[in-house]
Structure 1
Amino acid sequence: MHTEFTDLVAALDIGGTKIAGALVDDTGRIHLKTQRPTPAQEDGERVMAAVDAVLDELTASPLWPRVTAVGIGSAGPVDASAGTVSPVNVPGWRGFPLVARVRTTVGGLPVRLVGDGVAMTAAEHWQGAARGHDNALCLVVSTGVGGGLVLGGRLHPGPTGNAGHIGHISVDLDGDPCPCGSRGCVERIASGPHIARRALEQGWRPGPDGDTTAAAVAAAARAGDPVALASFARAAQALAAGIAATATLVEVDIAVIGGGVAGAGDVLLEPLRRALADYAALSFVRGIKVVPARMGTEAGLVGAAAAALQGADNSRERPRPTAV
């Protein structure tokens, strides 16, 4: 086992499918990892019991005495200022006081909460595709569209932990109503389910296996299906408009694209880069790069650890993550 680290933090990655936990050092190395299924349809206390089971395994480690803080990346909405979470896909948690509950379980250690898109951003900036960039936007394009920002070389989660949530920028003023209450949001156009919905509405038909996911639409697009290609082009256009708007406001120079839909590769990235050339026309945003994410399935844990290392409880600074 490696022991040349100085800081060790506990990280939690909480989603609708699984609750993962890890002990992570200040170079991003994971020393212990565990997970439990999320009882997403159960009441809030049963969900918390799954979190506690993960924490129990972490606290039983002989490394636990070296843990200085806890970072949590959670499906949202989250409210870091209040320490609460209300994940859309975990109905038992509405305004659930997750930070206070975790802090009690871990004996009062500092706890930092961020949204899952911000956690992914922290990971990509620390160890992934945004490393070396002081101003970056990272996107998670999946069942929804989330994101986060790095500004001035530091993670910028905002007061509630949701800054950079590009999915709910409106890019079509007369577009479809979004569950968030707005219209024409990036998420309403570019998320996986909406890519598939649009393709089906325009006449695309799945193969013999009946697969109607965005991955199936991507496979059809790679094979040259014009309807599938058009659905991805529309998603790319929405993403480009959102990226350009963000870059114009805060001058990011790179956009990192992750999440399940990003697995489509050039089917998404090529039309995205073309559309961005149209939307990002001003001189100070014209050179923005678009690259795929690198951190994969570990992004949530590594990013939660990075957030904890950069400042627990949103009120006190801690040592910054160490590059490897």
Structure 2
Amino acid sequence: MVTRMTVSDRAFTAINTVLMIVFVFLCAYPLWYILILSFNEGQDASMGGIYWWPRAFTLGNYLVLLSNETIIQAFWISVLRTSIGTFGSILVTSMVAFGLSRRELPGRKYLTLIFLFIMIFNGGLIPLYIQLMNLGLINNFWVYIIPNLFSVWNMLVMKSSFQNNIPEGIIESIRIDGAGYARIYWSIILPFSMPLLAAIGLFTAVFHWNDWFTGAFFINELKLQPLPTYLQRVLSTVEASNMISSSQMTNSRSAGMYNPQAITSKSVRMATIMVTTLPILFVYPFLQRYFVKGVLIGSVKE
């Protein structure tokens, strides 16, 4: 039986649709505006009047950017950090969550309270810096990985999912067959929790990719700085101008592909923002189906 919509239902649907379209536009247009400015000549863009598409199309901003060896190095540091950091964090955090989800673990309630306490209270930046220095992690690539291997919040989410969404009967049956906790973790917990792990992994990857704080405060060597930290430098007019001057001197053979005099520090900054933003956006389509399932875990079931 088809239920007919009343006038009020249609009005609500229409208003809701319009509001959602406006909301999507307000979220998407800033990124689109930066994109068209990155493909437009800087001097032409400084005159204004560019809103929907490039007026003086050029690839010069990206040629200047990609001819900079430092930003290429920073890009691969970010890729390596995001890959290792995400995998390591999911592995370590899920192991702890699995242990705390087992009722037979001695003192698991007290351990959970300890984790909650350290999640709410921390020593601050100076004690953290001293600890990292004592561990030899200052100016070390592993400063991006080791301190972020464990997340209390993600552990609590995983722990709740392991307890409520994985049938205890399956675990008990495999234990009767002689499987240990390691076999249960690899054969039952991880396969059943793939949507949850994919959703948390996506958030973790976004954190690693966008984190500029660690590289700015704990890394002094330019070759170890990730892309977001280098972006902070490029966003300053002096750094962007230096990139343009260096590109004009060392990359003269590509000068015929664009007008070097039309490139400005602002247009280079727009291209840098796009290079920093787009790679992590391309990850979402591949994890979308897992992401939707993961965020629904724990909802009401009939």
- TM-score, normalisation: structure 1: 0.25
Q: Which has the larger radius of gyration?
A: 2
The structure carrying a bigger helix percent of its residues is: 2
